[in-house]
Amino acid sequence: MQHITTAADLRGVPVTLSPSDALGGDPVRLEAFYQRHGFITNTWRGKLGAPRESLVRVPPGSAAAGEAPPVYPWHPC
């Protein structure tokens, strides 16, 4: 996970995901694991341009770390 978050930080892009039990994992334990790596609850879920996943991690110090939904380089907004 550290390699993924470091690479995303270097590129200035957020990482999103949704823990699930689809492969036998425990979503509660998975969410705690991801929170230890800087993921937070995606409160922008359902808003235009925001990711659908339940957790998001934005690069520290980025504009996306504020109140606005994260900006994705591939999104036309």
What pLDDT tens digit does each residue of the chain (77 aa) get? 999 999 999 988 889 999 999 999 999 999 999 999 999 988 887 777 777 888 999 888 765 555 545 555 544 44
Q: Are 77 and 71 in contact (CB under 8 A)?
A: yes
pTM listed for this prediction: 0.73
For position 76, what pLDDT does the model report? Answer: 45
For position 27, what pLDDT does the model report? Answer: 92
Hey, what are 12's tokens? 């200035």
Question: Within 13 Å and on the Cβ side, how many CA atoms surround 54?
Answer: 10
State CA 27 to chain mean position distance: 15
For position 43, what pLDDT does the model report? Answer: 82
For position 71, what pLDDT does the model report? Answer: 53
